Each structure stands twice: as C-alpha cells, then as structure tokens.
Structure 1
Amino acid sequence: MLASGTQCRTLMIGLDAAGKTTILYKMRVDENHEAVPIGGPRRPPIELAVEEVSCRNMNLTVCDLGGQTRIDALRRYNYLQGTDLVIFVVDSADRDRIEEAAKELHAVFQAEELPGAQLLVYANKQDIPNAMSGTEVANKLRLSELGKCRNWHVQPLVAVRGDGLFEGLDWAAGIMAKR
C-alpha cells in the first residue's frame, strides 16, 4: 500500500454512458459512505470534471473526461502531461461499441505525453445479462498490444453499487507503490 497522501495524477476516460461520472462519485465516498472530497469540480472549456479525491491512501487528481471529448482536446489543454494512471471505463454490456472503445484507448496510449502511465480498465455494468467478462474486455481492447513496459489490469465493476471499485484502486495503489 502507498504511503498516506501519495499523489497520483489520474485521467479517467471512456466512451459516453460507460459510467465514468458514477465511478467518480463513488470514489468520493469512503467505505463508511461519508464524502471525503479534498477539492471541487472545475470545468475548463472542454467537457471535463477535475476532482481531488483521497481514496485508498492516494490523493488522486481525477480528470473525468466527457465521452465526446477526444485526444486532441486533451493535448491542447495539457491534461495528458504528468499522468500516472489512466482509468479507462468500458460498458461491458455494449458489444456494439467495444471496437470504438478500443480505438479510443489505443489513440490515447499512442500519445508521447503518457510514457509511464499505467492502465486500469473498469469493465463496468457487470450486472447486466450477457456483459463481457474482464478477459473478453481485455481481448476486445487488445490490451496485450500496449507493450510489456506498461502495467494494465481489467477490473470487473458494477459502478452503481461500487462492486469492484476498491479492488481496482488497490491494484493501482500497488502499482504506484512500485514506482
């Protein structure tokens, strides 16, 4: 586990309606369901919410990128620079858009501004019948193509209940502690 107060600049992205805002809300609530925000939303000229969240011994600066905003906007407003962790949220029940999600993910990780960023994929909406498993999501996103120097993990998630949220953050904390 990380030392208390360890900083981790985190970019949370994914297609629209994948569950990013729900996840951000759940991150702002600790295990006792008490809000623990250490900052507030600030909105730049792109669809982006920036929150400072203390969770799992990490101080996360989480940029929740709206689903319609693309990589060029991230570059223009310098949100890629210094990112330690990318959280990519996928709607596991939306098989029609998984290829679109894969293209977005690979476009982000081709950016030269993310040389050491690690990847946590939340395979959200696992409570919906016929949702893709974590393994299927990993295969459809072609995560093995990201290279051996980048750590990645797929965490099954039901964001509305928080099921799997902290397990994913625990993985991220472990990876950040090894840096």
Structure 2
Amino acid sequence: MPSWFSWWNWMKDIMIFLGLARKTIKIVFLGLDNAGKTTLFRMLKDNMMIQHTPTLHPDRDEFCLGGLTFLAVDVGGHEQARRLWRDYYWDIDGIVFIIDASDKERFREAKKELDGLLREQMTDKCPVLILGNKIDIPTAASEQQIKEYFNLNALVTGKNNEDLNDKNKTRSIDVFMCSILKKQGYGAGLRWLAEHL
C-alpha cells in the first residue's frame, strides 16, 4: 500500500505537469564575499537594488521564475562562512556560484573554493551555474578568461542543451556573464540551470 507521502508526491507531479502547481527547486548561492550573492538574492526576491551589509548568517527565501519556484539559500562568502558551506549541500538541486569578474586579485581564492565544491561528493550530480558578475566594470574579465583561469573549458557543458541526455557527464556546468547591477545576464543563467535539473 503506498504511503500518504508518495501519494502526495504523485499528485503534485500530476499538478505540475498540468500547470496547476509550480515545481520547487532548492538551490544554494555560493561565492566569495562581495561577489554579488546577496544582491542577486534580493533582486530575484524583491526586484530591488539596495546596499547590503556582509552576510553574517545564511538567509533562506523563495522566488518564482517562469513556472518554477526556487527555494534559495544565500550563504555568506567570508572565510568563516565558507567553512559552513558543506552544511547546505544536503538535498539541493542546483548551485549558483558567483565570481566577481572585476576582482582578479581574488581569482586564486575563488578558484580554490570552486575546485573544492566541484570535488565534493554530495554535489557531484548538481548542475552548477557559474555567474561572472560585474561585467559593467570595464576591467572585468571576459567569459573566456574566467573559463581559462578557473580551468573550466573541459568542464562546461554548453548553453545549447545538447548535453541534457548525455549520461556520461556527472553534472552540467556552464558560465554566464552578468551584471546584477544592470539586471543583465543572470536570467539566462537561471533558465539554463532550471533546464538542467
């Protein structure tokens, strides 16, 4: 006899298929401090650009994009907060890793954190959206420069969805350049992420 929980999941799947309910996707925002995680988080939630203080405690909220509801956690990016990232890997569907493309002096530090994330077994099936933020700053790195510095050329799966049925890949990864301040680029990245869940 099926349990109440499995019956509820079956009903919810039917409602989502019929367009009567939204699918909820659990994601986590990661990256170094000052990369733009909280700014994006608030932009998606409230469509507002406000000055933020550094994130001292993880913030959890939801926002809707298209036919999906994203349950997102904004985890701080300062050194002490990064020690807690692993605590938020349980039961997530996707990861948004934000890089400050204008702060090349911290690329080494960001690369170390991204490399650790990509080696993590708990997230080895989660698609990873990498956002190169702050492209509105003239000195910002290009998409190709980020892919080269972070050794991503062999890992990215592409923006064309050709990898959706490739069973040999453990996860989908791609880089999208954006300016959260100018409200550019991150929407395409989030759509890509939703398609790869």
Distance (Å, rounded) in 2 between the aligned partners of 1:139 and 1:58? 32
Structure with greater Cα Rg = 2
- Structure with bigger helix share is 2
Amino acid at match of 2:194: A
What is the deviation of 1:144? 4.4
Alpha-carbon distance between aligned partners in 2 of 1:96 and 1:139, rounded to the nearest angstrom: 15
Provide the rounded CA distance (Å) in 1 between the counterparts of 2:92 and 2:144: 25
In 2: Cα distance, 1:141 partner to 1:6 partner: 32
Partner of 1:81: 90
Q: Distance in 2 between matches of 1:135 and 1:6?
A: 33
Structure 2 counterparts to residues 25-174 of structure 1, below 5 A: 25-29=42-46, 47-68=57-78, 69-70=81-82, 72-75=83-86, 78-144=87-153, 148-174=169-195
Per the TM alignment, residue 56 of structure 1 is displaced from its structure 2 partner at its CA by 2.5
Paired amino acid for 1:125: K
Deviation digits for residues 59-93 of structure 1 (CA, Å, limit 9, x no counterpart): 111111111112x4233xx3101121110001001
TM-score normalised per structure 1: 0.80
Residue-pair matches, total: 159
**Bigger shift: residues 50-59 or 17-26:** 50-59
Give the TM-score taking structure 2 as reference length.
0.73
RMSD: 2.3
Amino acid at match of 1:86: I
Structure number with higher relative contact order (C-alpha < 8 Å, ≥ 6 residues apart):
1
